[in-house]
Amino acid sequence: MPPELPAPAASAPVDRRYLLERVDDAAVVQLYADGFRDLALRERILIWHLSQAAIAGRDIFYDQRYAHNLDMRDVLEAMVSHARDIDPATRAEIERYSKLFWINTGPYNNLTARKFVLACTPDAFAAAAQAAARGGARFPLGDGETLDALLDRLRPMFFDSEFDPTVTAKTPPRGHDILTASANNLYVGVTMKDLEGVEERYALNSRVVKGDGGIVEEVYRVGGKYSRYIEAIIEHLDAAIANATEPMANALRALIAFYRSGEDADREAYDIAWVRDKASPVDTINGFVEVYLDARSIKGAWEALVFYVNAEKTHQIRTLAEHAQWFEDHMPWDPKYRKEGVHGVTARAIDVVIETGESGPITPVGINLPNDQGIRERYGSKSVSLSNVTEAFERSTLPEFRTEFSWTPEEAARAMKWSAFASELTTNMHEVIGHGSGKVDQQLNGNPQAALKEHFSAIEESRADLVALYFVADRRLVELGLVDREAHDDIVRAEYEAYARNALVQLRRVRQGTHIEEDHMRNRQMIVRWLMRHTRAIEVRVREGKTYFVMEDAAAFREGVGRLLAEVQRIKGEGDYAAARALVETYGVHFDPALRDEVVARVDRLRLPSYTAFVMPRLEAIRNGDGEIVDVTISYPLDLTSQMLEYSAATSHLRP
């Protein structure tokens, strides 16, 4: 997931547009895939089919995130694309809200998990809908439903922030549990108590519904839930196979088999085939993968990415991977959790061509899969660093972002000089030697998620961050040629300073409420707060009414990181839920709202965004008279709205 200050670009043109627009506190940035043109035709065609598969499944994630999402999106898109006769003020508000809706895949902020609503009146909204209808817009009316009745039905979803207020609530309000307080569509009418003693056969790829007959798993597979989308995905994956390398073709066949059966054994076979494909220049992730959307950290949210290897930038990440065993042997934790014979983490720098579902328009900067701990231990994992995403982040970042929260000009200068380099390095370390490392006690059956439940993701993310923070200061990096000897101390200091600052600056992202929901944010808050409490590394200082988190002592910082890492690994290794909960809730969840208000005022004065959404490149297939693809071209739309409308139109025929 994105660090605050990602790394620089090597050789992109300087004059093109990255930052396209601001929508509230989101930045919209164009993503470029410069290497696409240099790929062989066979690879471009392969990418085209995989991209079609990525678009085909996009609506699955909309539906998983909120049961009313697709109806809401239809209403908004009908109005946005027939806006000519809508009152200008209402139209501007509908466009603002629609963009936030697309960026966040529904009405919930991706960072805070809280709902955002339309700021016009329901009457103005209804008048706008009527104007759009007169202009030819078509709305998702139910059987015999009028437009007014449809708008009435969706009124609480669009206008009432207290109706279904939180998409994923790991800290539920009184009277709720983590499922009943979460508005996502992964469970219907199910409480945590209902699930006691229930053994889910399709844990990752099902929705759990409580009906008259008790608890039912609706399996995501052909013939099951989302069947039409899944069949469309399969069709495109199948078309891709002809142009894939043999190891990749094997992985695609295994993925298709899993999409057909939904059985866990087929998912394992796919994970293994995917990990075994270590060398293909093109790759994809397509399926039910990450578990952040589920408060229980069990159900996979659908996502797709299509990417090719960026050979130039793969060197650093590959060097880390080749020496993964050395890092494993020097982990500052109980030797019984050290893995022996670390299976090659296959690590590469990549450029993404498209990301949908949970990975787009908001994207991670690094990914390490599969998540199945058992498969990681037996077969290793693949780790990718999203170079062109990192580049676009960097190119769209304003310099004030670094200076405003630095205590001294020297700190700001260090950030200017090194933070991009340091954050790319630590992102790679996070993925390659962080997530890839360590083992857990036998009795957990390779599944610490089940034991750590809603705190698993925050614990695992902090473990990976701590590994990176610990080893970034190790001389081994100099020996491996990854870091310049003279600059090493400065780079470490810049990274530690940036990490401390981030715990303050990230509060801008939680504009409502007084606690943090998002797991990566929890882990970063937790690490810094823990270090403040247990070491002398970081001081809180105030000057002219402005608060600063000042990293004072890099040696103390690293020593504290090592101590905390040993404890976090123990928690994961033993599945110690009580300790995970105490750690996350004490240091990672709560914050002082007055401090947040101060930070928000400072970033708003400078117009700094809280998060970034990306417009993907656009591919076009050129066909000959027989309908065969003879070329695939790439272009850059520079416009979020047109891309979102195009994606939605591509799947409208698949809707139930």
Rule CB under 5 A: which residues touch Zn ion?
Answer: 461, 464
Q: Rounded to the nearest whole angstrom, what is the least distance from the CB of residue 455 to Zn ion in the complex?
A: 15
Closest CA to 435 of 347, 559, 530: 347
Least CB distance to Zn ion at residue 345 (A)? 13
- Locate 523 and state its tokens: 């882990």
| Three-class secondary structure of residue 302 per DSSP | strand
Kindly tell me which of 94 and 459 has the beta carbon lying closer to Zn ion. 459
CB of 62 to Zn ion, least distance (A): 24
Let me know if 508 is exposed, middle or buried by CB neighbors in 10 A (0-12, 13-18, 19+).
Answer: buried
Q: How far is the CB of 436 from Zn ion (least distance, A)?
A: 11
> What number of other Cβ atoms are within 10 A of residue 170's Cβ?
28
By beta-carbon proximity to Zn ion, the closer residue of 461 and 497 is 461
Q: How far is the CB of 572 from Zn ion (least distance, A)?
A: 13
- The gap from C-alpha 338 to its chain's centroid, in whole angstroms, comes to 28
Q: Which is nearer to Zn ion, 361 or 434 (CB)?
A: 434
| CB atoms near residue 652 (< 10 Å) | 13
Please state the closest distance from residue 364 (CB atom) to Zn ion, in A: 8
Strand ranges inside 158-281, DSSP E: 187-188, 206-211, 214-219
What Å distances lie between residue 465 and 296, 367, 459, CA to CA?
Answer: 22, 13, 10
For 37, the token pair is 């043109």
**Residue nearer to Zn ion on the CB measure, 461 or 518:** 461
User: Dihedral of the CA atoms 316, 317, 318, 320 (nearest 10)?
Assistant: 90
332 Cβ contact partners less than 8 Å away, ≥ 6 residues apart: 470, 562, 563, 565, 566
Q: Which residues pair with 23 in a beta bridge?
A: 26
Q: Which is nearer to Zn ion, 93 or 461 (CB)?
A: 461
- Which CB, 425 or 464, lies closer to Zn ion? 464
Concatenated DSSP letters of 441-475: -GGGTT-HHHHHGGGHHHHHHHHHHHHHHHHTT-T
Q: How near is the Cβ of 464 to Zn ion at its closest, in Å?
A: 5
Q: Which of 298, 292, 288 is nearest to 198 (CA)?
A: 298
* Torsion angles phi and psi, residue 5, rounded to 5: -125, 85
Specify the residue, 137 or 472, whose C-beta has the smaller distance to Zn ion. 472
Contact 275, 382 (CB under 8 A): yes
Judged by CB, which is closer to Zn ion: 277, or 461?
461
What is the Cα–Cα distance from 468 to 135, expressed in whole angstroms?
Answer: 56
Work out how close the CB of 463 gets to Zn ion at its nearest, in angstroms, rounded to a whole number. 9
Residue with Cβ nearer Zn ion (464 or 473): 464
- Taking the complex as a whole, the smallest distance from the CB of residue 86 to Zn ion amounts, in Å, to 43
> Shortest distance, CB of residue 186 to Zn ion, whole angstroms?
21
Rounded to a whole number of angstroms, the minimum distance from the CB of residue 1 to Zn ion is 6
Report the C-alpha gap between 171 and 516 in whole angstroms.
Answer: 9
Over the range 68-102, which residues count as b (16 or more CB within 10 Å of their CB) and which as e?
A: bbbbbbbbbbbbbbbbeebeeebbebbbebbbbbb
List, as one string, the DSSP characters of 68-136.
THHHHHHHHHHHHTT-TTS-HHHHHHHHHHHHHHHHHTSSB-TTT-BB---SS-HHHHHHHHHHHHHTT
Count, residues in the chain? 656
**Contact between residue 561 and residue 542 where contact means Cβ atoms under 8 Å apart:** no
CB of 430 to Zn ion, least distance (A): 6
The residue (of 60 and 464) whose beta carbon lies closer to Zn ion is 464
Got the DSSP string for 332-380?
Answer: SS-GGG--SS----EEEEEEEEEEEETTSSS--SEEEE---HHHHHHH-
Nearer to Zn ion, 396 or 523 (CB): 523
Instruction: Give the contacts of 143 (CB within 8 A, at least 6 positions apart).
Output: none
Alpha carbon distances (Å) from 411 to 259, 284, 402, 414: 51, 40, 9, 5
Closer residue to Zn ion, CB minimum distance, 44 or 430: 430
The CB-of-147 to Zn ion minimum distance in angstroms stands at: 45
> For residues 295 and 464, which CB has a smaller minimum distance to Zn ion in the complex?
464
